[in-house]
Amino acid sequence: MQGVLTLDALSALPSLSLNAVVPKNFDYTPKANSEEDPSGDDPSTSLLSGYALVKGTSFYSIGVSLSGLMSGIRSEFGIMFSRLALDLRIGGTLGVLGLTYWVSGAWNSSDQRTGVDANINSSAEGVALAVKYVQFFPFCSLALIC
């Protein structure tokens, strides 16, 4: 279990949040579940074998956030597949203004130069979809200039 304390005092709406996070590694590959050392090719080394989806880290968190009218109790569940560099999350906040929930996914390339994030948020104000694509250009000092 890990505790996470976040203080944002410099923004227009200061906030304080305290979360307890419980991560758990999982490995359901046949190699991890058997006592024997299998001979031959290791199918878990191929991304297309399906074994990339049976090894990773899951977590859940619960916490409280103090941020004016956005204050509330927050809970989140996520799963990260390290071989695919894929992070999927679902969570919600029960706050002063009602229930807010979200679903998000993120993928980053192995060299951390490319990434895609997608978030769907739903609240009393409506539903919002945000998609972000990040590309790093090593030959430029500022990506906006290229």
DSSP 57-71: EEEEEEEEEE-GGG-
Would residue 47 count as lying in a domain?
no
pLDDT at 97: 85
Is residue 140 assigned to a domain?
no
In our burial notation (b when 16+ CB lie closer than 10 A, e otherwise), range 96-128 reads eeeebebebebeeeeeeeeeeeeeeeebeeeee
Question: First CA to last CA across the chain, in angstroms?
Answer: 44
Q: Is 71 strand, coil or helix? A: coil
Q: Would you give per-residue pLDDT tens digits along the chain (146 residues)?
A: 899 999 999 988 899 999 999 999 988 877 755 555 444 445 545 555 566 778 899 999 999 999 888 899 999 999 998 888 899 999 999 998 899 999 999 998 877 778 899 999 998 889 999 999 988 766 655 544 44
- For 124, the domain range is 2-27+53-135
* Residue 83 included in any domain: yes
pTM above 0.75, yes or no: no
**Does 144 reside within a domain?**
no
18 domain-assigned: yes
* pLDDT score of 146: 42
In a domain, 64, yes or no: yes
Q: Which amino acid is at 53?
A: L
Q: How many domains does the chain have?
A: 1
* Residue that is written with structure tokens 């090719």 in the block: 41
What per-residue confidence (pLDDT) applies to 123? 86
- Does 69 fall in a domain? yes
Q: What is the pLDDT of residue 39?
A: 47
Whether residue 90 is contained in a domain is answered as yes
